[in-house]
Amino acid sequence: MKNVVFGATGMVGGFIAAHLARNGEAVLGVSRSPRQSDGISWTVADLTKSESVDLPKVDVVFCATDATAFANAIDPILKSGPKRVVAITSTSIFYKLDSGDEAERVWIAKLADAERTIINRCQAANVAWTILRPTLIYLEGRDRNITLIAKLIRRIGFMPLYGAASGLRQPVHAEDLAIGAISAARSARAANRIYSTTGPETISYREMAGRVFDGLSRKRRLISLPPIIWKSALAVARPMYPDVTPVMGERMLRDLVFDSSAATADFGWNPRGFAPSFDDKLSAGARLAATGLQQPGERFLAAKRTDSSGDFAEHQKRLAPSHLSKTSTPV
């Protein structure tokens, strides 16, 4: 099986490439600059310049990078003759269209348009497609969500919460999403469908932050602040955290919960529970980013097809989500 991975230097794409290589499959990683790594071939291309995309014949294309850039280059990508395209987008498409942050609204509209472009172009080329919409993705030391919380805790010793921070979350590990993408690519039932791919536990933002303390081996110090005080504190700290916005604080009170049961049924979606462990990974994350590829944890098996549905290898215990709202969508 010949595979192309766009975003092979990133969190999810790195795991996709590494798992495929460990399974003995041919992997071509796409990067904007020349790279070398064991078991993976590389080609140089810039998705913002579609004319730079020139791929050999392949069986599967994985998009684990900016889907809007991927959609921009979808026509030359499809010239490689894939049988399946698997693109990773975001469940943000459900709740940021009405965001109070204009930049978020603009970005999510572009993402929705990118999904439509990928689907329409694949259908026109008679290529099967699958879109995965994950929730909050984390990889200790590298993500911009859980790791940001961990860095803040290390810096100030406590976690300032927006009110009760009661909004529900379903964090999902980057490696599990990578294994899910591979399994979806092998599943006939996952062809031409959109899936929410959430973590197995539904927990409050407050509990999620508490588990970050646990992962840092620190006593939980969660401080609920009235919204006006939280926003005032953010205004003072904004130079140190320019990507944090007041809307993000407000969102701590909002449930962001989706139904991944269709993914479980169609390709064996079975992610780990949320128990982050940092150790020295906050500093290790920079080293991982520099290498371009991170190796999968040894306690996980390489993704393998166990039956015609492309199920996960039985290496993780399933915990069913307790709150459901959005599910898969056939198109």
Examine the pLDDT at 20 and tell me if it is beyond 90.
yes
271: nearest Cα among 194, 182, 200: 200
Examine the pLDDT at 270 and tell me if it is beyond 50.
yes
pLDDT at 287: 43
Q: How far apart are CA 288 and CA 199, in angstroms?
A: 23
**Integer CA distances (angstroms), 99 to 115, 164, 170, in order:** 19, 20, 20
Task: State mean pLDDT over 305-328.
Answer: 35
For 136-162, write each residue's pLDDT tens digit: 999 999 998 999 999 999 999 999 999
**Integer CA distances (angstroms), 259 to 71, 279, 327, in order:** 26, 32, 5
310 versus 96: the higher-pLDDT residue is 96
130's tokens: 């699958």
Expressed in angstroms, the distance from the first to the final Cα of the chain is: 26
Examine the pLDDT at 215 and tell me if it is beyond 60.
yes
Domain limits at 209?
Answer: 2-330
CB 139 within 8 A of CB 7: no
283 versus 73: the higher-pLDDT residue is 73
For 252-267, write each residue's pLDDT tens digit: 999 999 999 999 999 9
- Sign, CA dihedral 35-41-43-46, equals negative
For 54-100, write each residue's pLDDT tens digit: 999 999 999 999 999 999 999 999 999 999 999 999 998 887 777 77
pLDDT at 92: 87
46's tokens: 């810039």
Would residue 19 be called left, alpha or beta, if left means φ above 0 and alpha means ψ between -120 and 50 degrees?
alpha
Examine the pLDDT at 305 and tell me if it is beyond 60.
no
137's tokens: 């993705």
pLDDT band at 319 (very low <50, low <70, confident <90, very high): very low
pLDDT band at 280 (very low <50, low <70, confident <90, very high): low
pLDDT at 242: 82
171's tokens: 């964090």
pLDDT at 74: 97
Write down how long the chain is: 331
For 167-203, write each residue's pLDDT tens digit: 999 999 999 999 999 999 999 999 999 999 999 999 9
- The angle at the Cα of 256, spanning 64 to 181, to the nearest 5 degrees, equals 25
CB 96 within 8 A of CB 105: yes
CB 89 within 8 A of CB 34: no
**Integer CA distances (angstroms), 22 to 26, 198, 302, in order:** 10, 25, 7
For the chain, where are the alpha helices, taking DSSP H only? 11-22, 67-72, 74-78, 92-95, 102-124, 146-156, 174-186, 205-215, 227-237, 246-250, 261-267, 281-291
How many domains does one find in the chain?
A: 1
pLDDT at 276: 95
CATH number of residue 237's parent domain: 3.40.50.720
pLDDT at 237: 86
Residue holding tokens 């469940």?
91
179: nearest Cα among 3, 2, 328, 19: 19
